[in-house]
Amino acid sequence: MSRILSLVPFVALIALIATCVSVFGTDALDGATQVSLLIASAICVFVGFLMGRVKWEALEQEMTAKIASCMPSIIILLLIGAIGGTWIISGIVPTMIYYGVQVLRPEWFLVSSSLFCALVSVMVGSSWTTVATIGVALMGIGRAHGFDDGWVAGSIITGAYFGDKLSPLSDTTVLASSVSGTPLFTHIRYMMTTTIPTFSVSLLIFIVAGLMMDVSGSSEMNFLSQLDSTFMISPWLLLVPVITGIMIARRWPAMVVLFLAAMMAAIVAVVWQPALVAQITENSWYEGIMRVIYGSTQIQTGAEQLDQLVHTRGMAGMMPTVWLIICAQVFGGVVTATGILRDVMQMLLRFVHGTASLVASTVFTGIFCNIALADQFLSIILSSSMFKDVYRERGYESRLLSRTCEDGATVTSVLVPWNTCGLVQSTVLGVATLTYLPYCFFNLLSPLTSIIFAGTRFVHPKPLKEEQ
């Protein structure tokens, strides 16, 4: 009976969010989803009382711990908002778009953007940084070519998460290997058996789609002339992303890199784009640049498409996302403190019989934790800790567990609208999660590929020498 009751909060959450999406549409994340998470949290507390498991002090401690664990992500999110404003008004992103439109041809744009993001993400080890910098520019290029936002965002996210997954600099890659007890490069090499085929299929889809779509970009030259007349375009502006890339390559802390990148762009905006800064306020350049960093700005260019590009939201534009992250962590803390999450996970273990079912259960656990806990790091940790003994007892080596955790938890986090990854990427790109979800082929196919490979016994049951 207790296990059935444990399902009630999750069923309620799914029903509430489904209702929000049907009623509010793309505006569901402006407040309705946050309220739904708090209502589901209250239902969870009530169920915990019925099962005699609730101690309010424990609930408060767990919720506080969950929210505290997300504070670095929240600060990074605010800094990304600052970069979004400064990199556009300074002309950095418009310059990248200006030259990118001329270099990336429409028929090869989708596959090129995915490959480019994959390369950058492997080097920097962060899908968030890749999307917040290169991804924003590629969104503008895709819109100039006439592609739908979903296709462009899907290609960007596909490449960014492929690189993030295989990069030795990635925190998720290091986390998955460490919590499962797998050597880092052993983990990365073994992930290639599922990751490279899945990414290859995704690239093939983007190639076919690009060749078949009628996106000749007839307004391309007009768009370029509008960019040139609005901003002072210069290759010198690309020094800021180059310096940012160097800082990332030297493994400076993410907060430091993002802060310095925003400050450099703010200085460039004052020096290089004084006319645009003057449009923001009638008082002083100081007030204008501060508004760019923290608030919403809109410059009228006379072209609707370009107006959308130069509309920035700054740090304030990230506040609905911050609100949603906090509410999601409240729910995650409650389901953890009441033991309800543990009950649901134990129910999953009952269906484990062979290799395919074991891998499928691990994948599903990662996806479920992304939905319930709204954080990919917690999903990786929980998936690994729950199944680590099971894999060992059944004779499977740890690299199968670490690879499966990545295939299930890491890549699907961006597909959940209230997960920290889904929230950040949709906010930064300006594309709703449910809009780009059908086009994130790598993220959608990775869990399925992992299960199929396990079903065909594409695994090595004997322990590795270094584990012996």
Instruction: Give pLDDT tens digits for 27-61.
Output: 666 778 788 889 988 998 888 888 877 778 888 88
pLDDT of residue 465: 46
21 plus 77 within the same structural domain = no
Q: Is 462 part of a structural domain of the chain?
A: no
Q: Which of 289, 317, 345 is the last residue of a domain?
A: 317
Whether the pLDDT of residue 467 is over 70: the answer is no
Q: Does 189 lie in the same domain as 90?
A: yes
Q: Last residue of a domain, which of 290, 317, 344?
A: 317
Q: Tell me, what's the pLDDT at 52? A: 79
Shared-domain flag, residues 310 and 323: no
Q: Residue 467 domain-assigned? A: no
Q: Is the pLDDT of residue 468 over 50?
A: no
Q: Cα angle vertex 88, ends 154, 209, to 5°?
A: 20
Share of the chain above pLDDT 70, in %: 87
227 occurs within a structural domain: yes
State the pLDDT confidence band at 83, using cuts at 50, 70 and 90. Answer: confident
What is the number of domains present in the chain?
2
pTM, entire model: 0.67
Specify whether 350 is located in the same domain as 276: no
Q: Return the top range by mean pLDDT from 171-185, 299-313, 397-411.
A: 397-411
Return all residues near 20 (Cβ < 8 A) that are at least 6 apart. Answer: 28, 32, 33, 36
Kindly state whether residues 351 and 372 are assigned to the same domain.
yes
Chain-centroid distance, C-alpha 398: 26
pLDDT-based confidence at residue 9 (cuts at 50, 70, 90): confident
At residue 216, the pLDDT reads: 56
Query: Who wins on pLDDT, 381 or 292?
Result: 292
Residues 200 and 259 in one domain: yes
Q: Of 141, 115, 106, 101, whose CA–CA distance to 211 is shortest?
A: 106
215 domain residue, yes or no: yes
Whether residue 224 sits in one domain with residue 157: yes
| 63-68 long-range contacts, CB within 8 A, separation 24+ | 63/329, 63/330, 63/333, 63/334, 63/337, 64/333, 65/333, 66/329, 66/330, 66/332, 66/333, 66/336, 66/373, 66/375, 67/326, 67/329, 67/330, 67/333
d(CA 76, CA 255): 6
In a domain, 344, yes or no: yes
- The candidate with the shortest Cα–Cα distance to 439, out of 136, 118, 158, 127, is 158
465 occurs within a structural domain: no
Q: Is residue 466 part of a domain?
A: no
Residue 29, amino acid:
L
Question: 54-81 pLDDT, tens per residue?
Answer: 778 888 888 888 788 778 777 877 887 8
| Whole-number average pLDDT of the chain | 80
| Contact (Cβ atoms closer than 8 angstroms) between residue 101 and residue 220 | yes
In this structure, the answer to whether residues 383 and 430 fall within a common structural domain is yes
Flag whether 299 is in a domain: yes
| 304: confidence class by pLDDT, cuts 50, 70, 90 | low
Q: Which domain holds residue 408?
A: 2-71+319-455
* Same domain membership, residue 335 and residue 249: no
| Residue length of the chain | 468
**Tokens 């997954």, located at residue:** 165
Q: Do 57 and 142 share a domain, yes or no? A: no
Note whether 174 and 244 are same-domain residues: yes
Residues 14-26, mean pLDDT to the nearest whole number = 75
Residues 60 and 83 in one domain: no
**Structural domain ending residue among the three candidates 268, 296, 317:** 317
Q: Any residues with CB less than 8 A from the CB of 357 and at least 6 apart, and which? A: 351
